[in-house]
Structure 1
Amino acid sequence: MAVPQFTTPGVQIQELNAFPNSVVPVATAIPAFIGYTARADYKGKSYANVPVEITSLQEFLLYFGALDPSDPSGNTPLPDNQQYKPIYCVTPVGKNATQPADIVGPTGQGYYVQPDPATVYYLYNSIKLYYLNGGGTCYVVSIGEWNTTPTFKPFAPTTATPNLVNTYVSAADLQVGLNAIAQEADPTMIVIPDALLLTPGDNAKINGLVLQQCSTLMSRVGIFDLPGADDPDPTQFMNQVILPFRNAIGLNGLNYGIAYYPFLMTSVMDPEDIDFNNFGGSSKLAPILGNAPAVTALLGQMSTATYGAPPPGATTPSVTQVENALRNTLQFYQQLHDFVLNDRANVLPPSGAMAGAYTMVDDQKGVWHAPANISLVAVNDTTQKMTDALQGPLNVDAATGKSINVIRTFPGKGVVVWGARTLDGNSQDWRYVNVRRTLIMVEQSLKLAAFSYVFEPNDENTWSLVSSMLSNFLTSLWAEGALVGPTPASAFSVAVGLGVTMTPDDILNGIMRVAVKVAVSHPAEFILITIEQQQQQAG
């Protein structure tokens, strides 16, 4: 310690720090969502490919939601039922069709109801699902505005592309957004639901880039959805969905990846979010609704109906009025509306919900708790009923270790997350999600804390301060249950010093080496209960 130079008689006071610097734990649940939005500007400034931090759905709409053209300020988002309007094509089933109809009309004619892929995007509803499941702060990278011009060509799966492909979704766009979020230090999860709308090859490319970024930065994980999990064949899903994903994901950075299966049947979209405009209006509905006078009158009103309450004295009806009249007049239209709402529009990938679940578990219990055995909010069912026998090969993959976490329904519990493994399921070190994420938190927290000692003397005094600082932090984690052991000494160790972690050459080269070992809490994935009858004791 430098000796002060006194020149004036009197009493001088010096304050000495009694404690070393402390380690502040980094945030653990800040997802970064990447995809297309209704717009990508705010108050005249473009936010395309710019990571924007938000804390609520309302804030998301301010930056990225469709705006109300009637508002003079130009900064008011449209109501929720006008934000996202995918188109659904209703086509009659032909005589030689091999697939059963989705719905059947009053005359017995069957119809297929499929989305127009050019109008389908997952980001907006995934963010809604994120906030419904406990989400808080997140980053959003809009890679551009979504397409609003329908092709009216229904989705038709093929062997080459079994999943829905939106040709307006570009792997190059997603890669630009992914590169943008790499510059941000805060995100701890990457979520790209719109990657599901790519071809299988491009989807695999983006997934590989996510794992590459995560393993390079070592500060985040990727949450993956599986292409084709929206409508899996219950007898062929292993060959059609699971194995293609495992083969495409590669072998690098697997401990930073987490996958979930299947899709979720949610209640994110409300009944009023679907109306006749989602079917293309009168020109597309007329051939299937018939020509009864009441129907003809309603079809004629569709072209002039406007959203919102009509002004006093207006002769044109509102969309809500025409929509309600259609549902009350035609049972078939009500059936069509409900089918689209429940079996098409509300079927969403699980990544958004899981990002919210991670946040909820981290906030309430801690990142060292597995984000599993928890019920999902606003989720009614899954697209495939999974059993123990069906889940087994997904949870444990002896050949490659690429575990896929299953979301299941249980009586009395609802829809439950029933898996907590990374894609590196054969690794004893990185098998579990909470272990991987806890180590990220510990590593990044220690790294940031150690910055204050850069350029300090590489001597015993500094080593002692660093050791005390790290030990105090790890002791607090042990007390909270993050580290396992009856005593702190058995839960972790911190070593630093000449002859311990460093050589004289290290000191001459300006290198301080600190060795930290921790015993992270592992989840009880398999609980075995043995019951044996005890003989009645005499007397």
Structure 2
Amino acid sequence: MGAMKTPGVYIVEKNAFPNSVVEVATAVPAFIGHTQIADNRNKPLSMKPWRISSMAEYHQYFGYAPFPRFNIAEMTDASAIAAFRVAGKDYVLQMPEGKDSGGYMLYRALRHFFQNGGGPCYIVSVGDYTQDLDLDKFKAGIDELLKEQEPTMVVIPEAVRFKQADCIDLQQSMLAHCGDKMRNRVAILDIWGGDKPRTDPNGDPVAQFRNALGINFLDFASAYYPWLNTTVIGDKDISYENIANPDILQQLLRSDLGLPDTVPDDAPPKTRELAGAISDISKDWTAVTPPLSAEAILANKALLNKTLTSVSSLFNTVLDEVKHQLNLMPPSAAMAGIYTMVDNTRGVWKAPANVSLAGVISPSVSISSVDQEELNVTTQGKSINAIRSFIGEGVLVWGARTLDGNSLDWRYINVRRTMIMLEESCRLAAKALVFEPNVANTWVTIRSMIQNFLTSIWKRGGLAGATPDDAFSVHVGLGETMTPDDILEGILRVTVLVAMVRPAEFIEITFQQQMQKS
């Protein structure tokens, strides 16, 4: 207090407790990709991280889903899997490359994220649905996150839509952002071609991923294999309009139903009705006279789709293949939701594994225990977490390792994320003492502040040890963490040691039989 210059009674209030350390948020992913719009009441949100907490807010600021379109083509690649067969010929559905395909994944990824327990997140829109994928824009979107302190995860579902080399380049930028520039967040990576088995004729997708990714900042990322067959897109979300070449669809439907190209006037009414429905597939409803309202056009399209669904098994097969291809999703968005759900229910120190995935029918590739051995442990240390299907249990996340699988310190993703939470919480709390004198009173304050915080984490199961002394220790002071020169230069050095809880991946149970006694 100031000097007492006049007689009187003075009251001095002294704090009984030190400042508290507030636990920072641990599950706030940042998604980067293309959106329909990027607008907040006529203020552009393009290339600007924007926080949302629900799909309703996403619709408000970023619009709705793209309109994907597929080409029906006769199969020429013998190694491909046919979607359907008509008149002895095999056909496949192919999504054209570029902006005309409507194959942008961010909207579907966000729906899957919220299905699996997702909460608040950031969206960085790098373009709309009229623009092609641009690697430089995605990298610029990552750099925009340098201005935000809250995100704790970086997820780019659309990285797998680039060519393989560009996908790896973008993922390396994610690793550098998380492990070099920020060091307070992790990246969840998808494996390019992860929907294919490791015996694929075009090469093992896991081996190609490991060979190309490099070795930098692997402890700040995790990867999951394989991709997932989801239920994000339902029957009501697709129709005949998702076929980009309706003339081929009409031809195949006529062949399947045994209808001629031209139906005579004296044909049965049912035949004429079917022929008319097939002809309406390519009809321009906006050119009808008299003009129809938007509601009437939608009603007519829905009725036509319902008619074709009820009369043609081939049409249902085509739509099922469209739905299957759209529902084949990389797992990063779902895993961001799992991280959020586990953090909210158990804590960031709980391994995000042995948890079932919502909105998932099956993994795209079935993995056995033998198959997973090489995923978990390799000489290069690049551990890939498996997603497996178990009888009677559903689809489970069966791994919680970072890509730095050979590191005893940072092998597990929950250890890395817990350390990030502890470091960020203590760093932000210590900012209140930046301009305090480097004396014993300040040392006692900062030691008490951090000890109280770590004690609460230990009581909740976040640190290992029978007593707080076994779980952590805080060191600060002259001769302990600082030299006299450090104090003169204004350096206050604090050392915190913590015992992390690690997942029990391997449990050995031994049975011993006692021999018979007389």
Aligned partners of 2:198 and 2:206 also within 8 Å: no
Shift in Å, 1:305: 4.8
SS in 2 for 1:423: coil
The change in CA–CA distance for 1:122 and 1:522 in structure 2 (over 3 A counts) is same
Letter in 2 for 1:22: S
Please list, as runs of the form range in 1=range in 2, the aligned pairs for 1:312-351 lying within 5 A after superposition: 317-342=299-324, 344-351=325-332
Once the two structures are superposed, residues 405-432 of structure 1 have per-residue CA deviations (whole angstroms, 9 ceiling, x without a partner) of: 0100001111100010000000000000
Letter in 2 for 1:327: T
Which of these residues, 142, 157, 163, is aligned with residue 125 of structure 2?
142
Aligned partners of 1:494 and 1:517 also within 8 Å: yes
**Structure 1 residue aligned with 2:278:** 299
Letter in 1 for 2:276: A
Pick which of 248-257 and 198-207 moved more.
198-207
> 2: CA distance between counterparts of 1:484 and 1:269?
43
**Structure 2 residue aligned with 1:431:** 411
The change in CA–CA distance for 1:143 and 1:29 in structure 2 (over 3 A counts) is same
The change in CA–CA distance for 1:480 and 1:313 in structure 2 (over 3 A counts) is closer
Once the two structures are superposed, residues 120-143 of structure 1 have per-residue CA deviations (whole angstroms, 9 ceiling, x without a partner) of: 221111110000000000000000
Shift in Å, 1:294: 3.5
SS in 2 for 1:17: coil
Aligned partners of 1:225 and 1:349 also within 8 Å: yes
> 2: CA distance between counterparts of 1:468 and 1:404?
40
Shift in Å, 1:338: 1.3
The change in CA–CA distance for 1:98 and 1:295 in structure 2 (over 3 A counts) is farther
Shift in Å, 1:42: 3.1
**Match status 1:458 vs 2:433:** no
Pick which of 39-48 and 207-216 moved more.
39-48
Shift in Å, 1:38: 1.3
**Structure 2 residue aligned with 1:110:** 90
**Structure 2 residue aligned with 1:29:** 27
> 2: CA distance between counterparts of 1:117 and 1:18?
66
The change in CA–CA distance for 1:215 and 1:98 in structure 2 (over 3 A counts) is closer
**Structure 2 residue aligned with 1:160:** none
> 2: CA distance between counterparts of 1:313 and 1:471?
64
Which of these residues, 200, 220, 228, is aligned with residue 185 of structure 2?
220
**Match status 1:279 vs 2:277:** no
Shift in Å, 1:248: 1.4
Shift in Å, 1:237: 8.1
Pick which of 85-94 and 445-454 moved more.
85-94
Please list, as runs of the form range in 1=range in 2, the aligned pairs for 1:314-463 lying within 5 A after superposition: 317-342=299-324, 344-397=325-378, 399-463=379-443
> 1: CA distance between counterparts of 2:409 and 2:507?
20
Aligned partners of 1:91 and 1:111 also within 8 Å: yes
SS in 2 for 1:434: helix
Shift in Å, 1:281: 6.1
Identity of aligned residues (%): 43
SS in 1 for 2:150: coil
Please list, as runs of the form range in 1=range in 2, the aligned pairs for 1:13-92 lying within 5 A after superposition: 13-66=11-64, 83-92=65-74
SS in 2 for 1:29: coil
Pick which of 114-123 and 178-187 moved more.
114-123
**Match status 1:477 vs 2:457:** yes
> 2: CA distance between counterparts of 1:273 and 1:61?
16
Once the two structures are superposed, residues 494-513 of structure 1 have per-residue CA deviations (whole angstroms, 9 ceiling, x without a partner) of: 00001110011101111000
> 2: CA distance between counterparts of 1:454 and 1:496?
15
> 2: CA distance between counterparts of 1:262 and 1:26?
32
The change in CA–CA distance for 1:316 and 1:64 in structure 2 (over 3 A counts) is closer
**Structure 2 residue aligned with 1:5:** 4
Aligned partners of 1:265 and 1:381 also within 8 Å: yes
**Match status 1:176 vs 2:176:** no
Shift in Å, 1:288: 1.9
The change in CA–CA distance for 1:457 and 1:100 in structure 2 (over 3 A counts) is closer
The change in CA–CA distance for 1:453 and 1:289 in structure 2 (over 3 A counts) is same
Letter in 2 for 1:223: I
Once the two structures are superposed, residues 425-464 of structure 1 have per-residue CA deviations (whole angstroms, 9 ceiling, x without a partner) of: 0000000010000000000001001100001010001001
**Structure 2 residue aligned with 1:127:** 110
Once the two structures are superposed, residues 326-360 of structure 1 have per-residue CA deviations (whole angstroms, 9 ceiling, x without a partner) of: 11111110111112212x11000000000000000
Aligned partners of 1:304 and 1:317 also within 8 Å: no
Shift in Å, 1:289: 1.6
**Structure 1 residue aligned with 2:160:** 196
Q: Normalization by structure 2: what TM-score?
A: 0.91
> 1: CA distance between counterparts of 2:105 and 2:190?
11
Q: Which runs of no fewer than 5 residues in structure 2 stay unpaired? A: 260-271, 287-291
Aligned partners of 2:105 and 2:157 also within 8 Å: yes
**Structure 1 residue aligned with 2:498:** 518
Pick which of 84-93 and 356-365 moved more.
84-93
